[in-house]
Amino acid sequence: MNYIMPKPLKKGNTIAFIAPAGSVLDKDAILRGKDFFENNGYNVVFSKHLFNQNKYFSDIDENRLSDLCWAFEDNNIDAIICGRGGYGCLRLIEKIDYTLIKDNPKLFCGYSDITVLSAMFLKKSGLISYSGPMVRGDFGQEHVSQYTVNNFFDAVSQKPLCFNSSKIYKSGNSEGLMFGGNLASIVSLCGIDFLPDEDFIFFTEDLNEPVYKIDKMITQLFNIDSFKKNVKGLILGDFLDSGYPEQLDELFSEIGVKYNIPVLGGFKITHEKDKITVPYGKKGRINGDTLFID
């Protein structure tokens, strides 16, 4: 696979806000996000169906897919940032024209349910995207996290990145593509061809999942032969509201020993306000207690 790095974000670029998953009902937050980027020297456009609602989606599948394709196909758009996560991307992946994505590579950013799109873009189009902040919960907040902002712009301007672990479950050295994202969203792809065909470092986080379900989902991934063969390290973000943190620590330590890979935790890959941005598909290196992404 020849991987495609989109152009870095530059002042004067035009950013499209889209909602490929859940409904974005907080219009004020989206408008604040627009103001944030325009005040920092960027242009912002909205997808046609951004503020619509159909059950728990932003719109019917066809309209969400149409907005996604429009954002990639329109030559006036340089970057795409998702409005929110929720659920819905899984319903689109069999309908996406991945050749369109490959032929029109652009900066694409989101997390949570957006993980599904990032994983499939990498697999089917070779597009490197970004697991990072979205509009409603990040750039559209009344008090935007400067930590999140700084990490976002460092990543999308394609600076070398370096993140230190605050929890070492098993130290070591390894390298591979940065692959992963929201754990439940990744596991929802099981049953189709979604994994990289080469070595990768699996980064992950989740929200409101009890420890036994986290164990179940990670076990399910390691039961896939190609996952077990190609995973060269685990980078762990926040598992918020999982309960029994000591059991979670024990689980991660066991994984490191069982599969003899470095397992590092404490990274701000998270649903919380302060978060880092991870280039999805770019080469990463674990060296002791540190993650480098060049």
Dist CA 249 CA 107 (whole Å): 35
Dist CA 171 CA 173 (whole Å): 7
Listed as ranges, residues in the chain with pLDDT below 50 are none
Say if residues 204 and 234 touch (Cβ distance below 8 Å): yes
Please give the pLDDT value at position 15: 99
> What domains can be seen in the chain, in order of their start residue?
14-156 (3.40.50.10740), 161-293 (3.50.30.60)
Please give the pLDDT value at position 237: 98
Strands 79-82 and 107-110: parallel
